[in-house]
Amino acid sequence: MAPTSTSRSAFAPAPATSSDYDRLSELNAFDATKAGVKGLVDAGITAVPRIFHHPVPAVEPDELSSARRPQHGAAGSRVPVIDLTTSRSVLVAEVKAAAETAGFFQVMNHGVPDELLTKMLTSIRRFHEEPAEAKRPYYTRDQERRVRYQSNFDLYKSPAANWRDTLFMLMSPAPPEEEVPPACRGIVSEYTQQVRKLGSTLLELLSEALGLDRGYLEHDTGCLDGIAVGGHYYPPCPEPRLTMGTTRHSDPSFITVLLQDGVGGLQVLIDGEWVDVAPVPGELVVNIGDFLQLVSNDRFKSVEHRVLAMAAGPRVSVACLFRKQDGGRVYHPIVNAADDERPRYRSVTVQEYLGYYMDKGLDGRSKLEHFRL
């Protein structure tokens, strides 16, 4: 059930000068509801609880600006849009340029049916908007569970919680169909299969962009055998200037394919400036992940991005992270060009990298630097 009026008062923000603020107790109380941020909103909360406050100066001043309405103007054009029906040579050149600079690009004519995109977003929203008691059996912090619902995977480690709930599903190599909530069952498997085909195409283009054989990244990394799906739900926020939807971070993946609805709020850091990634119907967002920056020896950029908390919403998005699920797989930089005379990162296993990433949480710092030589 949703938090009662009694639990609502337990989450009331403490005064800034309060000396009796017990953050751990408030985190435990929030987590114990198993209702997430959506539960707070359903309970009629009108102020952002202190556990969600992003302190200053721990973040840039503009991150807590009062005007949390993304502007989809000219700045959005700095995130390239690539038509996948373009000729091969042009495609490779465009993907190479995007991967080396923005680290983000949007793709059109990608082969995933528009109807399926709509169904996928609808299914994720349907799950998150079910009564709390229907979602509660899926709520867990057990990282071994292939399907888990939670609010903030790093709730107890990050400096401040984010205004976001997530349904996480590890969909390959073997889809956990019976574990997937009924609201998403069948649809998420179909969507993942379609995005896997797109991922294969993207990895071919990225391989060629690195001067490698077309199938190098797909077959050498094995990341198509491990696709993690995050169905994110960002409820409307009563005080968006105090918190974030998602703190600045880069992804622990080779590539991430993101489907977002029309609400907006996603921003990418380009040349020191936060740039809106404007939602465009029918297009998918692709970004380079940490593993690909490491393997490419810094030629491709895993760029930091964030999601603003907003009064509008809810915002729904679906992120497909391509990464090998074999924790013992070792990755190392590819040194194959004259200007790459030395590796810039040490070799690392998937288990080691993800362990470090999960331990640190979304703390606003790049995890790649820990592995740099």
Confidence (pLDDT) at 222: 81
Contact 105, 95 (CB under 8 A): yes
Determine the average pLDDT of the residues in 243-263.
96
State the pLDDT confidence band at 219, using cuts at 50, 70 and 90.
confident
Q: Higher confidence at residue 223 or residue 292?
A: 292
- Compute the C-alpha angle 360/373/248, nearest 5°: 35
CATH class of the domain whose range is 25-49+103-371? mainly beta
Q: Which of 135, 152, 116, 96 is nearest to 337 (CA)?
A: 96
Q: Higher confidence at residue 105 or residue 337?
A: 105
User: What pTM was computed for the model?
Assistant: 0.89
Determine the average pLDDT of the residues in 178-184.
95
Confidence (pLDDT) at 339: 60
238 three-state secondary structure:
coil
Out of 54-63, 186-195, 215-224, 317-326, pick the least confident: 54-63
Amino acid identity at 140:
T
pLDDT at position 10 over 70: no
Rg, C-alpha atoms of the chain = 20
Using CA atoms, how far apart are residues 290 and 214, in angstroms rounded to an integer? Answer: 21
Q: How many CB atoms lie within 10 A of CB 9?
A: 10
Tell me the pLDDT tens digit for each residue of 64-109. 443 344 444 333 458 999 999 999 999 999 999 999 999 999 999 9
pLDDT at position 341 over 80: no
pLDDT at position 143 over 50: yes
The percent of residues in the chain predicted with pLDDT above 70, rounded, is 87
Confidence (pLDDT) at 77: 53
Tell me the pLDDT tens digit for each residue of 281-329. 999 999 999 999 999 999 999 999 999 999 999 999 999 999 887 767 8
The values of phi and psi at residue 307, to 5°, are: -130, 125
Confidence (pLDDT) at 153: 93
Using CA atoms, how far apart are residues 165 and 150, in angstroms rounded to an integer? Answer: 6
Confidence (pLDDT) at 119: 98
pLDDT at position 58 over 80: no
Q: How many CB atoms lie within 10 A of CB 221?
A: 22
Confidence (pLDDT) at 76: 41
Tell me the pLDDT tens digit for each residue of 185-206. 999 999 999 999 999 999 999 9
Distance separating the N- and C-terminal Cα atoms of the chain:
50
Q: What does the mean pLDDT of the chain come to?
A: 88
Alpha helices in the chain (DSSP H): 5-10, 23-33, 36-42, 88-100, 114-128, 132-135, 187-209, 216-221, 290-295, 350-360
Contact 249, 309 (CB under 8 A): no
Query: CB neighbours of 241 closer than 8 A, spacing ≥ 6?
Result: 64, 65, 66, 68
Confidence (pLDDT) at 337: 58
The secondary structure of 265-325 as a DSSP string is -EEEEETTEEEE----TT-EEEEE-HHHHHHTTTSS----EEEE--SS--EEEEEEEE---
Count helices and strands in the chain by DSSP H and E runs: 10, 14
